[in-house]
Structure 1
Amino acid sequence: MRCVFLFLCLWGGAAAAQAPVQAPKILAFGDSLSAAYGIQASQGWVALLQQRLRQEGYPHVVVNASISGETSAGGLARLPAALGQHRPAIVLLELGANDGLRALPVKAMRGNLERMLQLSRDAGARPVLFEMRIPANYGPAYGESFTRSFTELGQATKTPVVPFFLMPIALDPANFQDDGIHPSAAAQPKLLEAVWPTLKPLLGRPR
Structure 2
Amino acid sequence: MFAVVNDGARAQAADAETVKILALGDSLTAGYNLPPGDAFPVRLEAALRDRGHAVRVVNAGVSGDTTAGGLARLGWLLDGEAPDAVIVELGANDALRGLPPQKAEENLAAILQSLADRNIPTLLAGMYAPRNLGPEYIAAFDGLYPRLAERFDVPLYPFFLEGVALQDRYLLSDGLHPNAEGVQVMVDNILPHVEALVERARQTSG
TM-score range, shorter chain: 0.7 to 0.9
Query: C-alpha offsets along residues 11-30 of structure 1, whole Å, 9 cap, x if unaligned?
Result: 9xx99xx5723222100000
Deviation at 1:171, TM superposition (A): 3.5
Please, which of 73, 76, 79 is the counterpart of residue 78 of structure 1? 73
- Give the 3-state SS of the residue equivalent to 1:64 in structure 2: strand
Q: Which residue is equivalent to 1:57?
A: 52
1:182-193 equivalent positions in 2, closer than 5 A: 182-193=177-188
Q: Which residue is equivalent to 2:150?
A: 155
Q: Distance in 1 between matches of 2:19 and 2:70?
A: 22
**Residues 162 and 194 of structure 1 are in contact (CA less than 8 Å); yes or no, is this contact kept in structure 2?**
no
Which 10-residue stretch deviates more, 54-63 or 23-32?
A: 54-63
Larger radius of gyration: 1
Q: Which residue is equivalent to 1:39?
A: 34
**Residues 48 and 195 of structure 2 are in contact (CA less than 8 Å); yes or no, is this contact kept in structure 1?**
no
Q: Distance in 2 between matches of 1:172 and 1:76?
A: 31
Q: Which residue is equivalent to 1:7?
A: none
1:2-21 equivalent positions in 2, closer than 5 A: 18=9, 20-21=12-13
Deviation at 1:103, TM superposition (A): 1.0
Deviation at 1:105, TM superposition (A): 1.1
Tell me which amino acid in the other structure corresponds to 1:146: F
Query: C-alpha offsets along residues 69-106 of structure 1, whole Å, 9 cap, x if unaligned?
Result: 00011111100100111310111000011111111111
Q: Distance in 2 between matches of 1:197 and 1:162?
A: 10
Q: Distance in 1 between matches of 2:63 and 2:27?
A: 4
Q: Which residue is equivalent to 1:68?
A: 63
Gaps spanning 5+ residues in structure 2: where?
none
Query: C-alpha offsets along residues 134-165 of structure 1, whole Å, 9 cap, x if unaligned?
Result: 21111111011101100111011111111202
**Residues 175 and 186 of structure 1 are in contact (CA less than 8 Å); yes or no, is this contact kept in structure 2?**
yes
Moved over 6 A (4+): none
Deviation at 1:172, TM superposition (A): 1.9
- Give the 3-state SS of the residue equivalent to 1:86 in structure 2: coil
Deviation at 1:124, TM superposition (A): 3.2
- Give the 3-state SS of the residue equivalent to 1:201 in structure 2: helix
TM-score by length of 1: 0.86
**Residues 89 and 160 of structure 2 are in contact (CA less than 8 Å); yes or no, is this contact kept in structure 1?**
no
Gaps spanning 5+ residues in structure 1: where?
1-10
**Residues 29 and 64 of structure 1 are in contact (CA less than 8 Å); yes or no, is this contact kept in structure 2?**
yes
1:181 aligns with 2:176: yes
**Residues 25 and 62 of structure 2 are in contact (CA less than 8 Å); yes or no, is this contact kept in structure 1?**
yes
How much identity, in percent, do the aligned residues show?
A: 36
Equivalent pairs counted in the alignment come to 192
Tell me which amino acid in the other structure corresponds to 1:87: A
Q: Which residue is equivalent to 1:95?
A: 90
